[in-house]
Amino acid sequence: MTSAPVPGVRTRTARPEDYDAIVRVADAWWGRPVTALLNRLYLHHFCDTSLIAETESGELAGFVIGFLSPSRPDEAYIHFTGVAPGMRRTGLARSLYERFFRLARSDGRSVVRAVTSPDNARSIAFHEALGFTCSAPVTGYDGPGQDRVVLSRPL
């Protein structure tokens, strides 16, 4: 457990059972249906490289689902990140990302990547603030009608 920038919030390595708390809040936190992109497999297979922020009473405050690419030895990848609406702009996501960056660097990874929707301006602004570069929208990146911006940052 380490302290997060929000008083009373701590971060820790995720556990498989955190999946249930994440899917309970995801659609509300994103303001649109996203649970179809959040399969249980991510917490089962990548909990050791994913992070949870929670209050002293165990309420979910934020999370990062990330992994060390098994196929690209230089790369780490962040699949999903969310922070509770009431805790945004406190630096919580930044602190979760920085902890993930340290973890990835310690495994010898030299770049972290993620993708986001071209219309998710908040996500793009957040990633740019953390030093990611954004590609132009890639048409059909995740299938028909699913355009994505590819985000990359050296570690």
Ligand X SMILES: CC(C)(COP(=O)(O)OP(=O)(O)OC[C@H]1O[C@@H](n2cnc3c(N)ncnc32)[C@H](O)[C@@H]1OP(=O)(O)O)[C@@H](O)C(=O)NCCC(=O)NCCS
Beta carbon nearer to ligand X, 12 or 73: 12
Enter the DSSP assignment of 60.
E
From candidates 15, 48, 125, 139, binder to ligand X by CB under 6 A: 125
Tokens of 21: 């708390």
From the list 12, 107, 122, 135, which residue makes contact with ligand X (rule: CB under 6 A)?
122
Q: Which of 147, 115, 146, 119 is nearest to 133 (CA)?
A: 115
d(CA 93, CA 15): 19
* The only residue of 11, 49, 50, 123 in contact with ligand X, by rule CB under 6 A: 123
**Scanning residues 29 to 88, which ones bind ligand X (CB under 6 A)?**
29-30, 80-83, 88
Could you say whether residue 13 binds ligand X (CB under 6 A)?
Answer: no
- Shorter beta-carbon distance to ligand X: residue 111 or 124: 124
To which H or E segment does residue 46 belong? helix 40-46
